[in-house]
Amino acid sequence: MESLRPLLAVCLPALAALGIFALAERPNAREAVSVLASLGLLGVVASMVPAVLAGETFTLTLAPFVAGVPLALRADGLALLFALLASLLWPVATIYSIGYVRALDESHQTRYFASFAASIAVTMGVAFAGNLLVLFVWYELLTLATYPLVVHKGSAEAKRVGRRYVAFGLLGGTAVLAGCLLVYALAGSLAFTPGGIAALTGADPLLVNTAFALLVGGFGVKAAVIPFYVWLPDAMVAPTPVSSLLHAVAVVKSGVFGLARVVLFVFGPELVRTLGLSGALAALAAATTLLAALLAIRQERFKRGLAYSTVSQLSYIVLGVAVLVPDAVFGALLHIAAHAFMKLSLFFCAGIIYVETHVEYIKPLRGISRRLPLTAALFGVAAAGLVGFPLLAGFVSKWYLLVGLLGDGRLLLAGAVLVASLLKLVFFWPIVTSVVFSEATDAQRDRDPSTVGGPEPGKLWEHRTWRNETTWLLLGPLVAAVGFAVAFGVVPTELPFFGLAERVVTEVLGA
């Protein structure tokens, strides 16, 4: 069904970015634009959900772009799953951003909020892209739109990281472009088709394999698959709200989303299976999830550790999509949402800790529950969810993933998932225990930079209650994010993500 709503979803945050620039001199009005736009976007996206759950697909063909490829938008199950997730979390992250940048008195706040809105606009473009070329266009623009946020600090380190960020982004984009070209030359079409573009089936297998490798590699850059993950931990130099919504949800999931589009809607499960591409991709994902889980444990900086954990979690999703078993794909799609809720919560915690104490490293977190009781408690909940405790978001998605893998006899892959979960426990357990239980820091504290920000040697953290531990602009969004994670764990079927994921699996795999 033709509908202007996907276009509206892209335009609304883009217009908000312009409005934010226009109101640069009036901060409160400027922030009101962000909040209102984010709520409006949520309304627009949510309004499409019931129809799509009922089997409808909204499309919009604007104009021809290049020969045979129109500028087209498409709102199907997969698109809405991603768009709804991003638009649901944008208002939350916006409130948090306001609290964060104002508490830290950040410079260039207008640029910050405008870039944030622009990034969301581009993310909507990624979600609602109607064919591979349009997806590529938005995928490239995503690198551009998020660049100002990565280099926000303006320090030499931020600029170095920014260069690398653009180089990786463009490398991925160019690989996607090359893949698009090949698919276009082979099939004459780039339109997303549930189950794959038919014309690719008869094409030269070598070229099809090359195209698949280029597209998977290209989207794999943002999905942070081996060996392309290195930009993500570096990008943690950005302000924490950016790390939370963009580098744990929007940007990285654009990569995963692109991969899912390529596997399920361009090549199609049949072709991917016959060409033996599924096994290679699954193995790569399994290796990434293990390696990143190991690397996370070795990190001293809190946010870097979380970033490696993101790398590891993203590969669960890639793995699930790659094996092409209905249950595993379903679990992977659920995990897109589940991981978003939990990682958002964890980054929100990291941000609160930084705002209140300027601690960036894991070591000085010992006993910080005295200073930030509610934050520490919610951190524990979110961490438990990420490890995979029942009644939390991570459990549901991982359950389906494992059921799918075991049901198909992929014992090794299932083992990798379980081991990675165990490694997550190894990463989070010491942090959680030291946050809650540790006594006063011992006297052997030296001038180690990784302990900056902690309490004085031999002292405990100052005691505060949840009422005065931090501002509600920061705590409110955290409570909301953890709330989503719990709701997703307790009543997953009540949230639209469940139905949307079901819809995708039925559409593509017919099961």
Partner 1 sequence: MSEFQPLVALVVTPVVLAVALPLVERWASRLAGPLATGAYLLQVGLAALVTSRVLSSGPVRYALGGFPPSYGIELVVDGLGAAVVLLVAVVGLGAHTYTRVHGPRDAAARALGLLLVAGLSGIAVTGDLFNLYVFLEIAGIAAYALVARSSGGAAALAAFRYLLVGTVGATLYLLGVAYAYAATGTLNFAALAAYLAKAGYSDPLVVAGFGFALVGLAVKIALVPAHTWLPDAHSKAPASVSVLLSGLVTTAAVYALVRLLASVYTPAFLLANPVFRAALVAAGVLSVLVGGVAAFRQHKLKRLLAYSTVAQLGLVVAGVGLASEIAVRGAVIHLLGHAVMKGGLFLAAGALAERHGATTLEAYDGLGRREPLLGGAVAVLALGMVGFPPTVGFVGKWYVAVGALQQGAWALLAVVLLSTFLSLAYFGPLVRRLFFPASDSAKPGHDDASGHHATDGGTDYGVEKGESAPADPLPVGAWVGPVVAAAATVGLGIGAHYVLRLVGPALEVFP
> Binding residues for partner 1, per CB under 8 A?
24-25, 27-28, 31, 63-67, 71, 101-102, 105-110, 112, 136-137, 140-141, 144, 148, 151, 153-155, 159, 162-163, 166, 170, 174, 177-178, 181-182, 184-185
CB of 486 to partner 1, least distance (A): 32
Q: Which is nearer to partner 1, 477 or 496 (CB)?
A: 477
Contact indicator for 500, 118 with CB cutoff of 8 Å: no
Could you tell me where the DSSP H helices lie in 188-275? 205-222, 231-234, 240-241, 251-260, 268-274
Contacts of 11 (CB under 8 A, 6+ apart): 121
Residue 106 backbone phi and psi in degrees, to 5:
-65, 150
Q: Which is nearer to partner 1, 133 or 336 (CB)?
A: 133
Q: Which is nearer to partner 1, 20 or 48 (CB)?
A: 20
CB of 2 to partner 1, least distance (A): 19
Q: Which is nearer to partner 1, 1 or 156 (CB)?
A: 156
CB of 122 to partner 1, least distance (A): 12
Give the tokens for residue 166.
């653009």
Q: Which is nearer to partner 1, 107 or 493 (CB)?
A: 107
Residue 71 Rama label (left phi>0; alpha psi -120 to 50; beta): beta
Q: Which is nearer to partner 1, 129 or 392 (CB)?
A: 129
CB of 102 to partner 1, least distance (A): 5
Task: For residue 263, give the nearest of 280, 239, 247 by alpha carbon.
Answer: 280
Q: Give Cα 329 distance to the centre of its chain.
A: 17
Q: Which is nearer to partner 1, 141 or 324 (CB)?
A: 141
Q: With b meaning 16 or more CB within 10 Å and e meaning fewer, what string describes 336-369?
A: bbbbbbbbbbbbbbbbbbbbbbebbbbbbbbbbb
Q: Give Cα 391 distance to the centre of its chain.
A: 22
Give the tokens for residue 364.
């000085």
Query: Furthest-apart CA pair in the chain: how many Å?
Result: 72
